[in-house]
A and B are shown apart, each in its own frame.
Chain A
């Protein structure tokens, strides 16, 4: 039975989550690269969004959400074959079409997040090939495990909006691709700073707003869970923003814009899995923890692991998503407004940890194979000359900024 309020909120949420990729993530990432690569990042985001939408229609949705196998969905909904106009998604009060579309926006942003790892040096064909294979081979199965009735769902795992399904898978895969494609030639000491910090802020702000659809929409209803999820999401983002600013202020004497909004995203990624059970106080504490841990992780990936995960996908998204997933059982108990767990705390923590570890290992191995394949078929990197010239002109024949006249 379709409920109008639920449907209206889910239509709204769907639009908000698409906004997170187009243009929010595109601007967030675009501002962080050099001026000569701005358009390449924007077109990568747009193309991945379009490609993954069509693949979601073709196979992705079916592999993630059709059937009740432990490991993978079935082919019953390929090409959305059985989708009738008045179908209701099981267990909800919204049309199946809206559920397909809402989940499609998640399937779009997750491969797009990985773009941050390989910007400024990848071949465009490799972007498309890796994203397409990754959606079907990594994202769809993990979404099935956690949200589609697979083995982790049967274990009672709690991942409200995608700490594991979105952020751990994308973060770990980003690290693997960044490691395989090798660093940019100037890495680590000759790398140029972000060309447009203001654009990073605009992107992060749109992500912040879009995240209300991502998290509060994951209630798949217009109800109290959605309301509390929105409150928790906002408070975590605010608390993480302040914390990252404070870290920089203490450490370097000046709080930076890029740092503040990176904190915002760390806080949002971290609350994502826990948005369904965190109360306001839990969210504030989780956001503060997010910036402390993600700040260290960003540094560690670059300086200790020496991997050029260019825009810190693992450090901000992967680590944030994993942390939120693992702390979820404890956050639920802090202060008023917390939700109920599926298991007692220690047992819930064990299930959460199994989910994070298995999803991370599976993502790493599968991404390794996908990236090897892409390397053999189309090659991963552009020529050094093209990298120096910038991908905007070298790969797309366009220039981001012309002289004014």
Chain B
């Protein structure tokens, strides 16, 4: 089992959700996060004074998957989240040691 964590532009969320749903992946967790990569931040102007906003709003999408679905999920997310501009985000993949469904007590792939 793998945990796929994608950091994406907030306005791409619906696209990503659709793309994952289309390939049969149901279930995800979304968190509002702030951060920066190569994009660095931007500046905002209030009453003529410039403020540097280092941490920009992004969405973190987490999907837990059986090993054989990971590649499909990554290509779906990449396609759906890409605008081609700097700041499009990143995808990280991590091993999951164990998974449990709270309601039934199922474990492993059955819990996903």
Mark A residues whose CB is within 8 Å of B: 188, 191-194, 197, 248, 251-252, 254, 256, 258-259, 262, 295, 298-299, 302, 312
Identify the closest chain A residue to B45 (Cβ): A252
Q: How large is the interface on B (under 10, 10 to 19, 20 to 34, 35 or more residues)?
A: under 10
Which residues 76-101 of B sit at the A interface, judged by CB distance below 8 A?
none
B47 touching A312, Cβ below 8 Å: yes
B48 touching A258, Cβ below 8 Å: no
Interface of B is mostly: strand
Report A-chain residues with C-beta under 8 Å of the C-beta of B48.
248, 251, 259, 295, 298-299
Query: Is B44 engaged at the interface, CB distance under 8 Å to the other chain?
Result: yes
> Which one, B44, B45, B53, contacts A248 given CB within 8 A?
B45
Interface centre among B44, B46, B47, B49 (most CB of A within 10 A): B47
Which 7 A-B residue pairings sit nearest by Cβ, starting from the closest?
A193-B51, A258-B46, A299-B48, A252-B45, A193-B46, A298-B47, A193-B44
Report A-chain residues with C-beta under 8 Å of the C-beta of B49.
188, 191, 299, 302
A161 to chain B, nearest CB (A): 25
A192 touching B47, Cβ below 8 Å: no
Report B-chain residues with C-beta under 8 Å of the C-beta of A191.
49, 51
Interface of A is mostly: helix
Q: How far is the CA of A251 from the CA of B47 in the complex (A)?
A: 12
Identify the closest chain A residue to B53 (Cβ): A193
Q: Type the 1/0 row for B35-61, where 1 means its CB is closer than 8 Å to any CB of A.
A: 000000000111111010100000000
Q: How far is the CA of A193 from the CA of B43 in the complex (A)?
A: 10
Report B-chain residues with C-beta under 8 Å of the C-beta of A299.
48-49
Report A-chain residues with C-beta under 8 Å of the C-beta of B46.
193-194, 197, 256, 258-259
> Which one, A188, A254, A262, contacts B47 given CB within 8 A?
A262
Q: How far is the CA of A295 from the CA of B51 in the complex (A)?
A: 17
A57 to chain B, nearest CB (A): 37
Report A-chain residues with C-beta under 8 Å of the C-beta of B53.
193
6 contacts between A and B (CB under 8 A): A193-B51, A251-B48, A256-B45, A259-B46, A299-B49, A312-B47
Identify the closest chain B residue to A188 (Cβ): B49
Identify the closest chain B residue to A302 (Cβ): B49
Report B-chain residues with C-beta under 8 Å of the C-beta of A259.
46-48
Q: How far is the CA of A324 from the CA of B87 in the complex (A)?
A: 48
Identify the closest chain B residue to A190 (Cβ): B52
A335 to chain B, nearest CB (A): 31
Q: How far is the CA of A330 from the CA of B65 in the complex (A)?
A: 75
Q: How far is the CA of A252 from the CA of B49 in the complex (A)?
A: 11
Report B-chain residues with C-beta under 8 Å of the C-beta of A302.
49
Q: How far is the CA of A197 from the CA of B45 in the complex (A)?
A: 12
